[in-house]
Chains A and B, each alone.
Chain A
């Protein structure tokens, strides 16, 4: 497939905005973990952050929102054109990119000037400058334009290819965007109808519980927006890198459809300790959260079978002999298998979070960042870094400057995150809160202090791994092309069990599954909002993390 020069360049700039944001975010991540361990005190280093919470806001927003959104939109453009062999609308590509970029710059200004130290969840009554909320809105609107572009392109493809099944990688693209669109409706309502009028001073009061509920409508499925592009790479690129095939294509399709259905109506499990929402509906959403674990468990099996196939093709024997014959020294394989290993532990720690009973042990503790650094912080982030090498090669003909460093930093990151998360989870299990400047706290016990230092060691290893990536990536960017990149082939894997004509047509009907997902969202969220409206109300007030005084006098 020939990809036009403009799309190669725009995709490159999506990657660049993402990776540069990540590099700032990762630096603040190192400072966070060192500050929590009491090793580093804020002020006078890098950018003079006013406080721990400003750095934490930068870390969360840049890594979890800006890096992911830019990278995913750019990557999915290429997957769309390659799998459909059809051109996207050029004007919409540019419009989407610049809308997202302007939004990011506005929000970044607000955070860097300490006018939006509200963390990435921006819970009211923490109040930010209106430009932070407007910037975040533009970032999301820009991504909606990318969705529109993709849907238009797919509809044209359908018209030209009647009766043909949507190619499986494109099913994944639809799942990513369906989840993202349904999820962002919640945060759009929160920001447009409540936070922007409140931050502009048009209304005096805000209902924090209502805002939290709308945020988590968005905040949990956001996890799948991060994760599903990684799944796309693991399902359709990784098996071929390993030298084998995807074990089951129909199971992969089913998995992505299940994510469309179950990703959104689960956010209340983040509010298990919130007042005002009935236990019944918290339990219903806990059950639905377990449902969304099912496609991930199916993925674990399907990918393990794909790896086993590859390992046996490479000469592996016995029940587990195939594992050692896998290409552990290939930088692309290392960059996919390391995040997959991290995700095994991310999965179980997520199931603990989702459980209404045991969640009480870990709720709002350091366990939670320990968990999501295994998922978004490794499973997604490291897969995206590996994909950035692959995109540089496929779009610009540039292979990594050092394949050895590319392999090394994947395993180093894995070692770092396992140490970091182990420390964070041990501290969290003991009830130590997250999002707290623990380095200044006098009440931390000796055992917890040790594990906070363990986390600092792990975080430092992760930072070193990222530095290795950063250097290797940018040297690669400035290299001369060495392979032909006229025809772009993402080298999607063949399947051992292929989709055939017997596949029920409903599994290719995205409108049906999205409509079903909307019904499920309404059924599961209507009683939650009923409870919130009945039991909570707006309050006058706005706070900054720097002062316990009400900002409204």
Chain B
């Protein structure tokens, strides 16, 4: 185990965050389309 990290760049966290936002968008639009389909006629 290393004791410390110099010049740490959280690239994995950025990728995780982008993936999470993408998942959020997919889930939100899934409900949105459900709204359109079920209420739209």
- 0/1 string, A342-383, CB within 8 A of B gives 1: 001001110110010110111000000000000000000000
Measured CB to CB, the nearest residue on chain B to A303 is B13
Instruction: Indicate if the CB atoms of B32 and A358 lie closer than 8 Å.
Output: yes
Instruction: Indicate if the CB atoms of A352 and B31 lie closer than 8 Å.
Output: yes
Instruction: Indicate if the CB atoms of B38 and A301 lie closer than 8 Å.
Output: no
Instruction: Indicate if the CB atoms of A358 and B28 lie closer than 8 Å.
Output: yes
Interface size class of chain A, counting residues whose CB lies under 8 Å from the partner chain: 20 to 34
> Residue A300 at the B interface, CB < 8 A?
yes
Instruction: Indicate if the CB atoms of B12 and A322 lie closer than 8 Å.
Output: yes
The secondary-structure label for the interface of chain A is: helix
**Of A102-110, A121-129, A208-216, A306-314, which stretch is located at the interface?**
A306-314
Interface size class of chain B, counting residues whose CB lies under 8 Å from the partner chain: 20 to 34
Q: How many angstroms from the CA of A307 to the CA of B17 in the assembled complex? A: 13
Instruction: Indicate if the CB atoms of A351 and B3 lie closer than 8 Å.
Output: no
Q: How many angstroms from the CA of A351 to the CA of B12 in the assembled complex? A: 24
How far, in Å, is B27 (CB) from chain A's closest CB? Answer: 5
Q: How many angstroms from the CA of A488 to the CA of B14 in the assembled complex? A: 36
Chain B residues 2 to 16 lying within 8 A of chain A, measured CB to CB, are 2-5, 8, 10-16
Instruction: Indicate if the CB atoms of A319 and B3 lie closer than 8 Å.
Output: no
Instruction: Indicate if the CB atoms of B12 and A320 lie closer than 8 Å.
Output: yes
Q: How many angstroms from the CA of A312 to the CA of B13 in the assembled complex? A: 12
Instruction: Indicate if the CB atoms of B31 and A313 lie closer than 8 Å.
Output: no
Q: How many angstroms from the CA of A315 to the CA of B2 in the assembled complex? A: 7
Instruction: Indicate if the CB atoms of A312 and B5 lie closer than 8 Å.
Output: yes
B-side contacts of A314, CB under 8 Å = 1-2
Chain B residues 26 to 41 lying within 8 A of chain A, measured CB to CB, are 27-28, 31-32, 34-35, 38-39
A-side contacts of B23, CB under 8 Å = 348
The residue that B34 contacts in the complex, of A305, A320, A429, with Cβ under 8 A, is A429
A-side contacts of B20, CB under 8 Å = 300, 344
Among A305, A307, A311, A313, the one with the most B-chain Cβ atoms within 10 Å of its Cβ is: A305
Q: How many angstroms from the CA of A323 to the CA of B3 in the assembled complex? A: 18
Instruction: Indicate if the CB atoms of A362 and B4 lie closer than 8 Å.
Output: no
Q: How many angstroms from the CA of A347 to the CA of B24 in the assembled complex? A: 9
A-side contacts of B35, CB under 8 Å = 357-358, 360-361
Q: How many angstroms from the CA of A300 to the CA of B24 in the assembled complex? A: 13
How far, in Å, is A470 (CB) from chain B's closest CB? Answer: 33
> Residue A513 at the B interface, CB < 8 A?
no
Chain A residues 104 to 149 lying within 8 A of chain B, measured CB to CB, are none
> Residue A247 at the B interface, CB < 8 A?
yes
Q: How many angstroms from the CA of A304 to the CA of B24 in the assembled complex? A: 16
Instruction: Indicate if the CB atoms of A304 and B13 lie closer than 8 Å.
Output: yes
Instruction: Indicate if the CB atoms of B28 and A357 lie closer than 8 Å.
Output: no
Q: How many angstroms from the CA of A355 to the CA of B35 in the assembled complex? A: 12
Instruction: Indicate if the CB atoms of A361 and B34 lie closer than 8 Å.
Output: yes
Instruction: Indicate if the CB atoms of A308 and B28 lie closer than 8 Å.
Output: no
Instruction: Indicate if the CB atoms of A313 and B5 lie closer than 8 Å.
Output: yes
Q: How many angstroms from the CA of A323 to the CA of B11 in the assembled complex? A: 13
> Residue A243 at the B interface, CB < 8 A?
yes
Instruction: Indicate if the CB atoms of A319 and B12 lie closer than 8 Å.
Output: yes
Q: How many angstroms from the CA of A358 to the CA of B36 in the assembled complex? A: 9
Among B20, B21, B24, B31, the one with the most A-chain Cβ atoms within 10 Å of its Cβ is: B31
How far, in Å, is B1 (CB) from chain A's closest CB? Answer: 5
Instruction: Indicate if the CB atoms of A309 and B8 lie closer than 8 Å.
Output: yes
- 0/1 string, A243-262, CB within 8 A of B gives 1: 10001000000000000000
Q: How many angstroms from the CA of A351 to the CA of B28 in the assembled complex? A: 8
A-side contacts of B10, CB under 8 Å = 247, 301, 304-305, 308-309
Instruction: Indicate if the CB atoms of B31 and A312 lie closer than 8 Å.
Output: no
Measured CB to CB, the nearest residue on chain B to A357 is B35
> Residue A40 at the B interface, CB < 8 A?
no
Instruction: Indicate if the CB atoms of B8 and A312 lie closer than 8 Å.
Output: yes
Q: How many angstroms from the CA of A315 to the CA of B3 in the assembled complex? A: 10
How far, in Å, is A298 (CB) from chain B's closest CB? Answer: 10
B-side contacts of A530, CB under 8 Å = none
**Given A358-B35, A362-B31, 19 extra CB contacts under 8 A:** A243-B1, A247-B13, A297-B21, A301-B17, A304-B13, A304-B16, A307-B13, A308-B11, A309-B10, A311-B12, A318-B12, A319-B11, A319-B12, A319-B15, A323-B12, A351-B24, A352-B31, A355-B28, A361-B35
Q: List 21 A-B contacts (CB under 8 A).
A: A301-B17, A304-B12, A307-B13, A308-B10, A308-B12, A308-B16, A309-B5, A311-B12, A312-B2, A313-B4, A320-B15, A347-B24, A348-B23, A348-B24, A349-B27, A355-B28, A358-B35, A361-B34, A361-B38, A429-B31, A429-B34
Name the 9 nearest CB pairs between A and B, nearest first.
Answer: A305-B10, A304-B13, A305-B13, A308-B12, A348-B24, A358-B31, A308-B13, A301-B17, A304-B16
Which A residues contact B (CB, under 8 angstroms)?
A: 243, 247, 297, 300-301, 304-305, 307-309, 311-315, 318-320, 322-323, 344, 347-349, 351-352, 355, 357-358, 360-362, 429, 496
